[in-house]
Amino acid sequence: MNIIVLLKQIPDTASLIRINDDGKTINTDNIKWIINPYDEFAVEEALQIKEKYGATVTIVSVGPKRYVDSIRKALAMGADKAVLIDDPKFYDCDAFCIANICAGILKDLSYDIIIAGQRGMDLDQYNVPIAVAELLNLPQITMVTKVEIKNNQIFCDQSIDGGKRSVYTNLPVLITTQRGLNNPRFTSMAGIMKAKKKPLEIKDIGQINIDASILENKIKILAFRYPPERKQGIIIQGESLEDKAEKLINALQNDSKVI
Amino acid sequence: MNILVILEAFDSKFRKTSIEAACKARQLADDTDSKMTALVIGYNVFDISNQLKKYGIDNIFVIDNEKLKDYSTDVYLNIIDQFLDTCKSEIIIFGSSNQSKDLAPRLAARNNGSLCLDCIELGFKNDSFIASKYIYGGKIIADISLESSPKIIVTRAGIIKPTEKQGKADIQKLDIILKESQIVIENVEFDNNTKDLSEADIIVSGGRGIGGSDFSILENLAKELKGAIGASRSAVDEGWRPSSDQIGQTGKTVSPNLYIACGISGAIQHIAGISTSKIIVAINKDSEAPIFSKADYGIVEDIFDIIPIITQKLQNKA
C-alpha cells in the first residue's frame, strides 16, 4: 500500500506574529517553524497504518528550503521518503495553486490513501486537501478520528456537527485528520540518524507533470491588520465570596445584560 | 447579480449559523441591489422552510428527500452543480459548520471559484469583492480579494445578529435526480445533551485548575445559565474532556455572549479562540494568570469555593 502525507510548515502557535511594513506579509525573523499540528496527526496515522498493514509513506510538500527541517522530522518519525517542490515563483501562491501542484506530483506517484491535516493552523482555510481530492477525483472523508483498512476499503469515524459517524469507501481515498485521532510519536536519536539517509527529492515546477499556465491565484491578499485589543476589565473586589458572587451576577445581569 | 445562500437544518430547525449567513447575504444583496436566493437541502425540510420567509429572501428552493437524511459530500455537490446550471450565482454563502467546511472547498475547486472560510466581514470595495478573516489563531485579520467566480464564503459563527425583513418568496420544491454516494454511512451518533459550542450563547469552560475529569461544578453552573461546557487544551490533553470540547487555536473558535473561564490560565492559543466573545469572565486563584488581562470581569478566588456560590445565587434568583 502507498500512503501520501501532505505536509505544511507553519509558525509555532505560541509565536508572536508581527506584520511587515508592506502591510500584507508577516515578519518571519524570529519565527520557529513547526509541522502544522493537524499534519503531524496525518504523519502519525500513516505510520500506524504502515505498522499495522504494511505501506510506504511518502511526504509531499510545496514550500521554501526551510521546509526541509520539518520534512526530516517526519522522516525521523518513520516516513520513508519525501518530495518537496521548492520554486520561488510559488512561495506566495494560494491554496488552489498549491493543490494543483500537489495533484501534479501525485499524478506521477502511486497512492492508495492520501492523508492531510483538516486545516493549516495558520490560515484556517481547510482548502488544499479537499481541492486535491477534487483534482484527482477521489472521495474525501474529513475530520477523521479512527481508521481501519479491510479488503481494499477504508473504514473511518469522522466528526460531524453535534456528533460522529462511521463511514467506509473503496480505496483510493483522501482523508483529513481531527484532534483525537492519535498522539504523534516523538523522534528518537536512531530515527533522526536514519532520516538523514532517506530520499528527499527537491524539485522545481518544471520537473513535475503540470501545466504551469493553469497555476493562477484565485484569491489575493490585500492587507493584514491587527484585531482590536481586548481591554483589561475589572477585578471584582469584595469582603466575602458571597459578596463577590453577588457583584458578578449583578454586573452580568444589569451592566452587560448577558444573562 | 444573484447571491445564493445554502442553508442547513438540524432537528427541524435551521442552524443558527445558516440564519446568520442568510442575514449577511440579505445585507449584501441590499447593498449591491442584487437578488437573493436560498437553497435548502435535506430531509423533512420543506415545512420548516417557512421559517425562512421572514428573512427577506427573494426565492426559496427546497430539495427534500429521504436519501438526504445524512450529508454526503458527493451527493450534495452534485445537487448544487445541477442547481447552479439553472440558477447562476456569482456569490455563494454558507454558515459555518463541519459540513460546510467539507463542502465549500470542494465546490470552489470544482467550479474554479475563490473561497474564504470563517469570514467575519464581506462586501464590495470599488470593483473588488473583499472578505476578511482571522488568521494565525486570531492574532491577525486578513483582507482578501476573491478574484474568480463563483465567490464562495463560509461565514464565521456570530458575525451578525439576525434581523428580520418581510419577504414575499414562495417556497418551491425541486425534484432533482440524486446520485449514489461513493461513501457508505454505517452509523451516526449524536451527543445527547451537549450543546454545540459554536452555537452556544453562554459557555462555561474549565482548564488545568479543575484538577480532574469531574466537571460537575461547571456543569451545574452551565445548567443554570443554559450554557455549554468547553475546555482548555490542558484539560483535553489530560484526558478530562473529549477533544470536541477544546477551545482555542488548536480547537474550536467561539464567540458567545458570555464566556466564563474557570481555572484557565489563558495561554495565547486559548485567548485566540475566545477573543471575539462579547463578555469574558475569568475565575482563577492565581492573580497573575494572563487570562485576567483579557477578561471584562475577573475574580481571584479558588473556583471550588466561589462557583458553587454563584450557581446557588442564580438558582435562588430563578
DSSP-assigned beta bridge partners for residue B228? B203
Q: Which residues of chain A are within 8 Å of residue B315 when distances are taken between CB atoms?
A: none
Segment A152-175 shows an average pLDDT of 96
A243 CA to chain B: closest CA distance, Å?
10
DSSP A169-233: EESSEEEEE-TTS--PPPPPHHHHHHHTTS-EEEE-GGGSS--GGG---SEEEEEEEPPPPPPP-
Give the closest residue to B35 by CA, choosing from B72, B79, B83, B90: B90
pLDDT single digits (tens) B262-283 = 999 999 899 988 988 999 999 9
User: Which ipTM was obtained for this model?
Assistant: 0.94
Q: Identify the burial level of A77 via C-beta atoms within 10 angstroms of its C-beta, where 0-12 means exposed, 13-18 middle and 19 or more buried.
A: buried
* Chain A residues inside the 8 Å CB shell of B133: 124
Q: What are A235's three cell numbers?
A: 477585578
Give the residue among B258, B261, B262 at the shortest CA–CA distance from B304: B262
Angle between helices B98-110 and B73-86 (to 10 degrees): 50
Q: Looking at residue A80, what is its pLDDT?
A: 98
Are A30 and A138 in contact, with CB atoms under 8 Å apart? no
Q: Which of residues 119-138 of A touch B (CB under 8 A)?
A: 119, 121-127, 130-131, 133-135
In whole angstroms, give the CA distance from residue B232 to residue B265.
9
Between A2 and B167, the higher pLDDT residue: A2
CA-based nearest distance A42→chain B, Å: 15
Confidence of residue B67 (pLDDT cuts 50, 70, 90): very high
For an interface test with B, which of A248, A250, A253, A255 has the most B Cβ atoms less than 10 Å from its Cβ?
A: A248
Q: Which residue do the cell numbers 521546509 mark?
A: A67
Beta carbons of B117 and A125 less than 8 Å apart = yes
Q: List CB contacts of B313: < 8 A, sequence separation 6 or more.
A: A242, A245, A246, A249
Position B192 scores a pLDDT of 65
Inform me whether the pLDDT recorded for A50 exceeds 90. yes
Write out chain A residues lying below 8 Å of B10, CB-based.
161-162
Percent of chain B with pLDDT over 70: 99
Is pLDDT above 80 for B194? no
Over residues B83-123, the pLDDT tens digits come to 999 999 999 999 999 999 999 999 999 999 999 999 999 99
d(CA A59, CA B288): 43
The number of beta carbons lying within 10 Å of the beta carbon of residue B192 is 7
- Rounded to the nearest integer, the mean pLDDT of chain A is 95
The average pLDDT across A106-126 equals 95
As a whole number, mean pLDDT of residues B291-298 equals 96
To the nearest whole angstrom, how far is the Cα of A160 from the nearest Cα of chain B?
6
Report helix, strand or coil for A100: helix
Over residues A137-149, mean pLDDT:
98
Average pLDDT taken over every residue of chain B: 94
pTM of the model: 0.93
C-alpha span between B73 and B98 (Å, rounded) = 11
Which residues does residue A60 pair with via DSSP β-bridges, in sequence order?
Answer: A6, A83
